[in-house]
Amino acid sequence: MPLRSRVLRPGRPLPMALFPGDDAPTTRHLGVFEAGILVGIASLYVGALPEESECNALQLRGMAVAPEQQGRGLGRALVHACINEAQAAHVDLLWCNARTSAAEFYRKLSFQTIGPEFHIPDVGPHSRMFIRVKKPK
């Protein structure tokens, strides 16, 4: 939580970085460690993409890489690990509410935008993005 809080909710109390479902047995938390220190985190939650509710999906939330570690490919590696987890879970797609400032990062990883930009109070503008991960049979 401290890393998620520092990157995604700076200056706010630590509980602001807790998300519903963090402790659900189906939730997966992935991390990147450098010399035993957590420097990147991403969480996967079972949850349908609102625009495609019939699809079996996982939501990527709480993606954060320590500012001093950004630009080294750690975020990209985390997203690839999340895609692998989604494929192993046999879901159709992986989706997220990406900060507008991070949308290009996700586009470069083949995520597509769906719907209009929207604003999350106290957080800022976001775009809903997804990638189909189901392997063809």
| Rounded (10°) CA dihedral 111, 39, 48, 128 | -40
Confidence at residue 136, expressed as pLDDT on a 0 to 100 scale: 58
* Percentage, residues of the chain above pLDDT 70: 98
- List, in order, residues 6 or more apart from 54 with CB less than 8 Å away: 48
* Residue 105 CB burial class (10 angstroms; 0-12, 13-18, ≥19): middle
Query: Per-domain residue ranges for the chain?
Result: 2-132
In tens, the pLDDT along 67-119 reads 999 999 999 999 999 999 999 999 999 999 999 999 999 999 999 999 888 88
What is the pTM assigned to this prediction? 0.91
Could you give the 3-state DSSP secondary structure of residue 87?
helix
The CATH classification number of 2-132 equals 3.40.630.30
Q: What does the pLDDT average to over 1-24?
A: 90
